[in-house]
Every structure is written in structure tokens, then in C-alpha cells.
């Protein structure tokens, strides 16, 4: 995984704290690796993590790579991560809408006062299967999102990682819906010489430390390195 991209993601993730936006979307290139790293980052910070993988691209090696930074054993990180995979949209909808509450309940039985963090990796990927009729996909996806919304309202943070969806796709409406559903939406761009992370949607309230579009966030001081300069804020709403 690109080290410059990891550095960018470290800066962004360090701003997202418990009690702040509960549904954070990262869309674009390299999301499989970033999601895997994020799981390791969270576990390394002491959080229990549940990964629902609908893209079949979670990489435990990347997840455990955070151990070197945190100076802890990879086994300690991986023990905090629970993974459930889906290969069809029906399986993904079941994971999000029915099995996730049980997984959360099981994790919280050990530490009742500490809510796990949830990663949805490729939440749209299985729903892009055009062998499944749109008249089935839309209500199935909405039902799953409704359950996630309810869980997020109870204080469970969600991080959604989705690879690019071609704008001309018949299922492009799913990407738009996912963005609407999220509190924050970051777009990852690997074009050019250095990677960029662009904030395309944010809450209208002041839950996160962001300045108006075009200005650098407070955490990114003027003396910041070049990688921080590649974090951009734009408004598309």
C-alpha cells in the first residue's frame, strides 16, 4: 500500500473521534487496502472492529502493518478485528440488516461500555450485479441502510469504503444514495504524482474541525508537509 496514501489517511482518521460523525464514506481508488489499514489503525488504538466485506478484498497483512507503528504485536491487532464476508447482495443485506446487531451484541458482552467500530467494505459491490433486477436491489439496499442508520443512531461509528462506480452505470444511483446517507464523504484520487483525499460532503453543523471550502483544516498547519497539502475540502451539495 502506498505510504503517501497511508500518511494522508492517518491525518484524516486522527480527526474522526467517537462522538463525532457516525457514517464516514471513503470512495475511490485503493479503498480495499485503505479499509484494511483502517481496521488495523482502529484496533491498534484499542477499538474492537467489525468488518463486513462485500468486495472480498480485506487484507489482514495490511491491517497488521499498523503494529509496526504502534510497537505492538500483529496478533494483538488481529484479535480485535472480526470479519464477515458476503458474495451476493442478499448476503450483504443480511449481514448489514440482520447479523450485524448480533455481532455487535457479542462484542459488547465483553466490554459493555465500549461500542465497536464497524467497517463496511464494498457496501455497493454485490448490489452492482446486473443479474439481480433493479426492482429487487433498490428495496433490499434501502432496508439494509435503514438498519445501519438505526445502529449508528445508537452511537456505533461506521466507516464505508467503496471502489469507484462508473457514472454511466445503471446502478450509479446507488453511489449517490450512499453519499446522501453518509455524514462525511471523502473521495480518494490516485491521479497525478501524489495521492489526494478530497472532502466532498460534510455536516452543516460544527461537529468536525473543518474550515470553509478551499481553506486548510486547523489540524493542517501552514508548516505541514506536502502530503497534508493534498487533503482538500470542497462542497458539492
Ranking 67-76, 212-221, 225-234 by mean pLDDT, the lowest is 212-221
Produce one character per residue of 9-40: b if its CB has 16 or more CB atoms within 10 Å, e if not: bebbbebbeeeebbbbbbbbbbbbbbbbbbbb
Find cell 481496521 and name the residue.
39
The confidence band for 20, taking pLDDT boundaries of 50, 70 and 90, is low
Among residues of the chain, what percentage have pLDDT more than 70?
81
Q: In this predicted structure, what is the pLDDT of residue 220? A: 33
Report the pLDDT averaged over residues 87-115: 90
pLDDT of residue 11: 76
**For the segment 191-213, what is each residue's pLDDT rounded down to a tens digit?**
776 788 888 888 654 344 333 33
Residue 67: CB atoms within 10 A of its CB come to 18
Model's pTM, two decimal places?
0.83
Give dist(CA 63, CA 99) in Å, integer: 23
Residue 79 contacts by C-beta under 8 Å, 6 or more apart in sequence? 43
pLDDT higher for 220 or 196?
196
| Nearest partner of 161 among 199, 138, 181, 187, judged by Cα | 187
pLDDT at 221: 33
Give me the pLDDT at residue 109, please: 76
Mean pLDDT, rounded, for 16-30 = 78
Average pLDDT over residues 17-32: 80
pLDDT for position 5: 73
For position 82, what pLDDT does the model report? 95
Domains with residue ranges and CATH for the chain: 3-11+22-233 (3.40.50.300)
- Tens digits of residue pLDDT in 125-142: 999 999 999 999 999 999
Which has more confidence, 207 or 86? 86
Amino acid at each position: 500500500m502506498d505510504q503517501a496514501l497511508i500518511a494522508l489517511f492517518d491525518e484524516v482518521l486522527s480527526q474522526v473521534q467517537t462522538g463525532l460523525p457516525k457514517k464516514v464514506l471513503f470512495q475511490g481508488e485503493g479503498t480495499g487496502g485503505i479499509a484494511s489499514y483502517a481496521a488495523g489503525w482502529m484496533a491498534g488504538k484499542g477499538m474492537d472492529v467489525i468488518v463486513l466485506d462485500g468486495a472480498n478484498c480485506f487484507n489482514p497483512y495490511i491491517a497488521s502493518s499498523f503494529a509496526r507503528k504502534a510497537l505492538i504485536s500483529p496478533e494483538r491487532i488481529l484479535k480485535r478485528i472480526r470479519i464477515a464476508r458476503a458474495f451476493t447482495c442478499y448476503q450483504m443485506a443480511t449481514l448489514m440488516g440482520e447479523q450485524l446487531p448480533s455481532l455487535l451484541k457479542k462484542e459488547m458482552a465483553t466490554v459493555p461500555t465500549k461500542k465497536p467500530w464497524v467497517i463496511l467494505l464494498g457496501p455497493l459491490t454485490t448490489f452492482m450485479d446486473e443479474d439481480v433486477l433493479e426492482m429487487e436491489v433498490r428495496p433490499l439496499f434501502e432496508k439494509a441502510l435503514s438498519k445501519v442508520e438505526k445502529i449508528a443512531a445508537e452511537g456505533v461509528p461506521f466507516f464505508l469504503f467503496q471502489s469507484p462506480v462508473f457514472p454511466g452505470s445503471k446502478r450509479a444511483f446507488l453511489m449517490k444514495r450512499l453519499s446522501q446517507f453518509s455524514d462525511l464523504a471523502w473521495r480518494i484520487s490516485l491521479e497525478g504524482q501524489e495521492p489526494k483525499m478530497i472532502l466532498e460532503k460534510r455536516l452543516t453543523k460544527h461537529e468536525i474541525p473543518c474550515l470553509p471550502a478551499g481553506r486548510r483544516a486547523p489540524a493542517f498547519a501552514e508548516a505541514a508537509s506536502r502530503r497534508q497539502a493534498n487533503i482538500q475540502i470542497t462542497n458539492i451539495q
